[in-house]
Amino acid sequence: MVKPQVDLALDFNQRTWTLRNIHEYDGQGGVILEQGRFGLCAELATFLFEKIKPLLSGQYEVKFAMTTEPGFFATGQSNHIVLLLVDRSDKQVYLIDPSFHKYARMKDLAEYHVLNIQDTLSFVKDQSHDVSFGVDQAIPLFIKKDVLLSFAVTSVDGKFDKDNFIFAISANRRYKFAGRDIVLIGRRNKEFEDFEDKALLNQLMTPDEIKILFDKLKSWIERV
């Protein structure tokens, strides 16, 4: 998110926000992971799909599934993406979750619940570089020390315009779904507003990472 080419666009009329150039592709249209290892769950699932599909015989079918996940994505609004590997010979279904390094028969992972199944993910099909969300919706950033950090653009008392918006980074501990905001920066009724939970922030990020993050957020605010 803090890469120079990644930008943020706010659409106050549609009440949406978009991270531009967040997805990268190679010359063959394959998803590029950060440092070859890191990415959003949809990127990890797509990367794995591209690697295993040529190795599978016609006996197997691979699907993408949006699921719940017990640690961080347990609600019905979850947008966690995994792979389902279906054995056509015996109808056995295996779940592969590259984000959390899990692989087992679906029936042995009762904590996962499939919300929908897709043949392909739209952002890959369209080769889209952007990802969009409604205001107050969050995107996961990374997991460290059993804590998930997420980023969202939020409204202020229901108002969402150039004088009322907040960039929020929240922290959710595994199995604890009442998260807490650790960074808030934006405008409330035209007035600049910021807050940081320095103790928790310093546990999760280095001073250099914190500076890079704040510089990025402030640069976005200045352009709104």
Residue 214 vs residues 28, 64, 189: alpha-carbon distances, Å: 35, 35, 21
Residue of 110, 125, 141 lying closest to 41 (CA atoms): 141
CB 19 within 8 A of CB 131: yes
Question: Is residue 195 a part of any domain in this protein?
Answer: yes
Q: Is 60 in the same domain as 118?
A: yes
Q: Is residue 148 part of a domain?
A: yes
**172: which 2 tokens?**
């959710």
Residues 138 and 121 in one domain: no
**pLDDT confidence of residue 176:** 74
- 127/62 Cα distance (integer angstroms): 20
158 plus 194 within the same structural domain = yes
Q: Which domain-ending residue is among 125, 153, 172?
A: 125
| Same structural domain, 144 and 217 | yes
Residue 114 lies in a domain: yes
Domain boundary among 92, 125, 158: 125
101 is a domain residue: yes
Rg (CA), the chain: 19
Q: CB count, 10 Å around CB of 131? A: 16
Domain with 50, as residue range(s), is: 41-125
Return the pLDDT at 154: 97
Same domain flag for 119 and 137: no
Selection from 206, 65, 52, 57 nearest residue 142 by Cα:
206
- Indicate if 133 and 219 belong to the same structural domain: yes
Residue 143 sits in the same domain as residue 215: yes
**Antiparallel, parallel or unpaired: β 180-188 and 191-196:** antiparallel
> pLDDT digit string (tens) for 37-83?
888 899 999 999 999 988 888 889 999 999 988 888 877 667 799 99
Q: Is the pLDDT of residue 177 over 80?
A: no
The side-by-side arrangement of strands in the sheet containing 16-20 is: 7-11, 16-20, 131-134
Q: Both 70 and 142 in a single domain?
A: no
Number of C-alpha atoms within 13 angstroms, CB side, residue 192? 5
Is residue 64 in a domain?
yes
Last residue of a domain, one of 72, 106, 125: 125
Tell me how far apart the alpha carbons of residues 23 and 20 are, in angstroms, rounded to a whole number.
8
Residue 207 and residue 153 in one domain? yes
Give percent of the chain above pLDDT 90. 68
178 in the same domain as 162: yes
Is residue 40 within 8 Å of 140, Cβ to Cβ? Answer: yes
Identity of residue 94: Y
Q: How far apart are CA 210 and CA 165, in angstroms?
A: 21
Residue 28 lies in a domain: no
* Block residue for tokens 């699907």: 63
This prediction has a pTM of: 0.85
Give the total number of structural domains in the chain.
Answer: 2
Query: Using CA of residue 162, residue 163, residue 169, residue 170, what is the dihedral sign?
Result: negative
Q: Is residue 211 part of a domain?
A: yes
In the DSSP assignment, the letter for residue 84 is E
Residues 70, 55, single domain; the answer is yes
The 10s digit of each residue's pLDDT in 117-172 is: 999 898 988 999 999 999 999 888 888 888 999 999 999 999 999 999 999 999 98
Question: Quick one: 97 and 146 in the same domain?
Answer: no
Tell me whether residue 34 is in a domain: no
> From the CB of residue 65, how many other CB atoms can be counted at a distance below 10 Å?
22
